[in-house]
Chain A
Amino acid sequence: MKFRIATPAALLAAIALTATACGGGSGSTPSQPSGDGKSFEFWSFSGINQKASVDEYHKVNPNVQVKLTEVGGSTETAQALTTALAGGKVPDLVLIQGDDLPKFVQQPQNFYDLRQLGADKMKGDYLDWVMSQSTAKDGSIIGIPTDVGGMAIAYRTDLFKEAGLPTDREEVGKLWPTWDAFIETGKKYVEKTGKAFIDNAETSVFYQAVNQGPQKYYDPQGNVVYSTSPQVKTAFDLSLKAVAAGISAKQTSFTEGWSAGMGKGQFAVISAPSWLLGQIRRNAPDTKGKWDIAKIPGGAGNWGGSYLAIPKGAKNAKAAWDYISKMQSPQSQLTHFLDSGSLPTTPSVYQDPKLIAKKDEFFSDAPIGKIYTESLLGLKPFYIGPDSAAIGQEFLNAITSVEQGKGDPAKAWDSALTNIKTAIGK
């Protein structure tokens, strides 16, 4: 095999290509959004039913053509957007998941500042802390929130009955005012039935508990504080405690085993942000009516949520903005919630009788609107930084390795910190 050193000319050509390829992205904001307002291209991710919103919009605006593409999961969509932004051929409207948002907020020059299109007037409609996550350092708003997570515990009433535990959702909620009480309940369940209580400790305990406080991985000024934040350490220790208590089925979330275990009653509870309810319905259709939803230990918190943004190079920003302003109004978010269960980001509809009356048949007619909006109201917002997802992933991995019997619980915290430092360099 022969390998020739490239000629300087080829190298120069490559560099020249680079220079031109990276020219896009910057530039001043046009005062008028582009396009004739007749059509726009919309990238969403699957599983969130944006098709319903688009159909709704079509009824009111039959003349506007919406080209909706479901790129893939939320991560794939964010990756595709990154590639599109670097290459210069972008969609007019894109849905970005909350965890992926900080990286884009750090580079606001890639997006329309929605204040100039009228976001200034509507921003009061949305939860302050949700809005602040899509507000860049320079004050520009790059995304309008479509939904939030909201937290609760989904549990199997039939399995609770077998274990001699109460099945009524109010009484179940009273079993676990704190995470410690939750773990104790789990121990009782395991003693009685010999089966696992939770699906896994890393998402059902750590990811929930770490989202319930004022300071997660960053302080309000944007400095990384994951190693000193008491909220993080407490959540980490709680999850190790759950592992040590032997209440976990050790099923990693979103895997085949996890989906199968859900249908076969391998575990009795899952921490379920509102968007997870759809996964339970899809993975375990035969368990309809056997589930119910109770309050989460430790009170309010949020996990997840998405935003709509308009990339700077969009050809039809005008039409895209019209879609955002019409479909993300409080009334439209309420309609979307009633159709598909995505929790509104607009607190003005939280007291709406239709939202409060919304019951879910699959989950024993649990009043999901009421339960999830209540979990948001006492929430203490925290700053989400560009490396939040990477930091969270390393903590999660450290707990998983202990849970799977590969890691030493005494060293788990230190090894997590080392891995985070390797990963993000600080």
Chain B
Amino acid sequence: MTATLDRVADAPPITTRVHQSVGERIAPYAYIAPFFLIFAVFGLVPLLFTFYVALFDWNPIGEHVFVGFDNFTRLFGDPRFSNALWNTLSIWLLSTLPQLVLALGVAHLLNHARLRLAVFFRMSMLVPYITSVAATAIVFAQMFDRDYGLLNWLLGFAGIGPIDFKQSVWGSHLMIAVMVTWRWFGYTTLLYLASLQAIPRAIYEAAAVDGAGGWKQFRHISLPSLRPVIVFTIVTSTIGGLQIFTEPLLMSRSTTCGAIRQCQTLTLFLYEQAFGQFQFGYGAAIGVALFVLIILFAALNYVLSTRIRPGKS
């Protein structure tokens, strides 16, 4: 009994034990703190600051006049805003859908067991992605040129007169969409491929023994297992698509993206207003509207992709 008591008395002071456990409790937070601190400084504060600026008539080098929600009222009556919104959605649809379908098909081909030079083909998928977007834009702008472009030269052989891609609404959207697709489909392909590689090859072999052809294997084995990564790519490409900026700016060389704003996206409109016209308040209001749109689209994507499941065999 006494021995036990003595041992208790000899034990290290209880405070140290408490101190250690506090440290242990704090440590995880300290480990993740850098991210949240950096997020707060470079993410949250600018975001809140944007909301704040949107309430002002804000000249960056002059007066800041509080105008309340005037910028938003003006925004909803501004035909340039609705134009930019439709342009953005149109370019996003034209670039995302073909990109994902193409990536799915190519990933399936690259996953084929008997593919020769598989590593070469897989790595070459990354080439468009690592090419500078500025260089890509220069090449594509030349290809789509009305008078001296490769595409119109080829169309000329087919007896189709030169198409002025840059000046028409659909032409310019198509041109930008092709560029976005070209740049991103390899990246998406590799994401899909990584997922496909995780599927045990034995399952495919078993299916083949049972008489399932390539299409059936794809439909019933590949597609269901790809579901999470497809959802991921849809969400990221939606966010990317709504924020598309560099491609239309470089292709058109102007923030209006053409004489009738035929390919001006929301971010280009934001940039034109804030940095071209120095209307930072109005630009911030566009930014807030864009933020809300992205939240809505992401939520919609999430809901749709959790409800819709590919059919099971």
Question: Chain A interface (Cβ within 8 Å of chain B)?
Answer: 1, 3, 6, 10-11, 13-15, 17-18, 22, 25, 75, 79, 82-83, 85-86, 103-104, 106-107, 110, 251, 254-257, 260-261, 264, 266, 390, 393, 396-398, 400-401, 404-407, 422-423
Contact = CB atoms under 8 A, between A and B. Distances in A.
Contacts of A423: 277
B80 A256 contact: no
A97 B167 CA distance: 28
Interface string B143-163: 001111000000000000000
Contact of A1 (B147, B278, B299): B299
B256 A397 contact: yes
Given A3-B295, A82-B61, A82-B278, A260 B80 contact: no
Interchain residue pairs A-B with the least CB separation, the first 8: A400-B259, A86-B60, A14-B48, A404-B167, A401-B259, A397-B259, A107-B62, A85-B61
Contact of B275 (A3, A17, A82, A404): A82
Given A106-B62, A110-B61, A260 B148 contact: yes
Nearest to A14: B48
A18 B52 contact: yes
A261 B260 contact: no
Contacts, number: 91
B260 A401 contact: yes
Contact of B260 (A25, A264, A397): A397
A245 to B, nearest CB: 19
Interface in B269-293: 275-278
A194 B152 CA distance: 20
A106 B59 CA distance: 11
Nearest to A424: B277
Interface string B111-127: 00000000000000000
B147 A257 contact: yes
A218 to B, nearest CB: 17
Contacts of A14: 45, 48-49, 52
Nearest to A83: B60
Nearest to B59: A107
Contact of A18 (B44, B49, B145): B49
A400 B49 CA distance: 38
Contacts of B78: 422
Contacts of A103: 61, 278
A393 B264 CA distance: 15
Contact of B164 (A261, A264, A404): A404
Contact of A261 (B59, B141, B147): B147
B289 to A, nearest CB: 16
B259 A104 contact: no
Contacts of B275: 79, 82
B44 A6 contact: yes
B61 A104 contact: yes
Contact of A260 (B64, B145, B168, B253): B145
A199 B15 CA distance: 85
A75 B277 CA distance: 11
B298 interface: yes
Contacts of B164: 404
A390 B259 contact: no
Contacts of A404: 164, 167, 259
7 contacts: A11-B48, A15-B52, A103-B278, A257-B145, A405-B167, A406-B168, A407-B260
Contacts of B253: 254-255
Given A1-B298, A82-B60, A422-B80, A393 B167 contact: no
Contacts of B259: 396-398, 400-401, 404, 406-407
Interface in B15-58: 40, 44-45, 48-49, 52-53
B277 to A, nearest CB: 6
A266 B147 contact: yes
B79 interface: yes
Nearest to A76: B275
B179 to A, nearest CB: 15
A25 B61 contact: yes
B133 to A, nearest CB: 16
B124 to A, nearest CB: 28
A90 to B, nearest CB: 11
Contacts of A266: 147
B142 interface: yes
Given A10-B44, A82-B278, A256-B145, 6 more contacts: A10-B40, A82-B61, A82-B275, A103-B278, A107-B61, A260-B145
Given A14-B45, A256-B142, A390 B148 contact: no
A380 to B, nearest CB: 28
A336 to B, nearest CB: 29
B45 A13 contact: yes
Nearest to B294: A1
B61 A86 contact: yes
Contacts of A405: 167
A133 to B, nearest CB: 18
A22 B65 CA distance: 13
Contacts of A25: 61
A85 B280 CA distance: 14
A117 to B, nearest CB: 21
A260 B150 CA distance: 14
B302 interface: yes
A103 B53 CA distance: 20
B48 A6 contact: yes
A85 B60 contact: yes
Contact of B302 (A1, A85, A110, A257): A1
Contacts of B142: 256
Contacts of B260: 397, 401, 406-407
Nearest to B77: A422
Contacts of A264: 148
Contacts of B60: 82-83, 85-86
B149 to A, nearest CB: 8
Nearest to B301: A1
Interface string B80-105: 10000000000000000000000000
Contacts of A401: 259-260
Contacts of B52: 11, 14-15, 18
Contacts of A406: 167-168, 259-260, 262
B45 A17 contact: yes
Give the residue among A13, A25, A257 with the most B Cβ atoms within 10 A: A257
A110 B278 CA distance: 15
Nearest to A260: B148
Interface centre among B48, B299, B302 (most CB of A within 10 A): B48
A14 B298 CA distance: 26
A85 B59 CA distance: 11
B24 to A, nearest CB: 27
